């Protein structure tokens, strides 16, 4: 049963989209802000998740466009990653229809903790371009399929995994890694959103209201990230990863 939403609730959703879009465009993790609010206004879990994907897709699209427009990333450099992320997300979304995500739910906080520790103690990580440890095309095939599948199957922390992989294995700086991450997030978000739409699990009035805030927040956040660089992105990235770990541990072991 979907509740009737008041003007005050729509204002709250707009502001939530604004904050979520701002944070997500810099370091990911916008769902940490958006989902609790969607639950708090009384949406059933499946509709809250679908509505979150709708509004989040607008934010990742706006941030991706800004990173491309300002020359941080080039769209054609990401085409292989987009293709294999799309394939991976479709496979993940299909798989979750008949398979439980319990094992992954327990594993992800551990993997994110490793990302957090590695980034925290690698003081120079992301400040400049390093030596790639994998061929670029092979990287996009492997991680496009793997992280695309993960996002379609389960999802939390996908942006953190993308950013860490781009920093460590392709040797990118954090600004460019953040831009490419937004593009890949948008790709897998669209696949997940399509599944929710087919299932009738999206509240469009709430989603589009939040999407307006998402676009504004995403443009502001990505512009700040581009202007201020790694010193601005790094602490936000670490904070988002840490909060994602806390949330997943709570949901997995204490809820």
Taking residues 1-17, report their average pLDDT. Answer: 91
Confidence of residue 102 (pLDDT cuts 50, 70, 90): low
Count: domains in the chain: 1
Residue 69 DSSP code: H
Q: Is the pTM of this model over 0.95?
A: no
Question: Do the domain assignments include residue 115?
Answer: yes
Phi/psi of residue 28, nearest 5 degrees: 80, -175
Full residue range of the structural domain in which residue 191 is found = 7-254
Q: What is the pLDDT of residues 154-203, one digit of tens each?
A: 777 888 999 999 999 999 999 999 999 999 999 999 998 998 899 898 99
As to burial, measured by CB atoms within 10 angstroms (0-12 exposed, 13-18 middle, 19+ buried), residue 85 is buried
Question: Do the domain assignments include residue 1?
Answer: no
Which pLDDT does position 188 carry in this prediction?
92
Question: Do the domain assignments include residue 89?
Answer: yes
Which pLDDT does position 9 carry in this prediction?
95
Q: What is the pLDDT of residues 46-75, one digit of tens each?
A: 888 889 999 999 999 999 999 999 999 999
Question: Do the domain assignments include residue 69?
Answer: yes
Confidence of residue 226 (pLDDT cuts 50, 70, 90): very high
Question: Do the domain assignments include residue 241?
Answer: yes
Question: Do the domain assignments include residue 59?
Answer: yes
Alpha-carbon distance values, 6 to 3, 9, 115, 143, 206 (Å) = 9, 5, 41, 42, 11
Residue among 213, 167, 171, 192 nearest 30 (CA)? 213
Which pLDDT does position 109 carry in this prediction?
85
- Cβ atoms of 216 and 117 within 8 Å: the answer is no
Confidence of residue 100 (pLDDT cuts 50, 70, 90): low
- The CA radius of gyration of the chain, in Å to the nearest whole number, is 17
Which pLDDT does position 183 carry in this prediction?
96
């Amino acid at each position: 049963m979907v509740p009737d939403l008041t003007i005050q609730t729509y204002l709250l959703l707009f502001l939530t989209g604004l904050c979520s879009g701002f944070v997500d465009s810099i370091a990911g993790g916008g769902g940490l802000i958006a989902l609790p609010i969607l639950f708090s206004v009384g949406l059933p879990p499946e509709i809250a998740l679908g509505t979150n994907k709708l509004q989040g897709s607008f934010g990742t699209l706006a941030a991706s466009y800004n990173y491309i427009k300002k020359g941080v990333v080039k769209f054609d450099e990401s085409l292989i990653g987009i293709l294999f992320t799309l394939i991976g997300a479709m496979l993940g979304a299909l798989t979750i229809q008949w398979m439980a995500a319990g094992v992954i739910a327990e594993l992800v906080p551990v993997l994110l903790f490793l990302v957090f520790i590695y980034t925290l103690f690698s003081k120079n990580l992301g400040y400049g371009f390093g030596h790639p440890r994998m061929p670029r095309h092979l990287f996009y095939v492997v991680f496009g399929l793997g992280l695309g599948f993960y996002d379609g199957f389960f999802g939390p922390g996908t942006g953190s995994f993308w950013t860490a992989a781009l920093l460590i294995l392709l040797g990118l700086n954090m600004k460019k890694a953040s831009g490419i991450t937004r593009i890949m997030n948008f790709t897998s978000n669209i696949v997940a959103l399509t599944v929710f739409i087919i299932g009738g699990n999206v509240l469009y009035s709430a989603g589009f209201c939040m999407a307006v805030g998402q676009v504004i927040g995403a443009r502001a956040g990505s512009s700040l990230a581009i202007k201020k660089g790694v010193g601005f992105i790094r602490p936000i990235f670490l904070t988002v990863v840490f909060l994602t770990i806390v949330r997943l541990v709570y949901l997995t072991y204490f809820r």
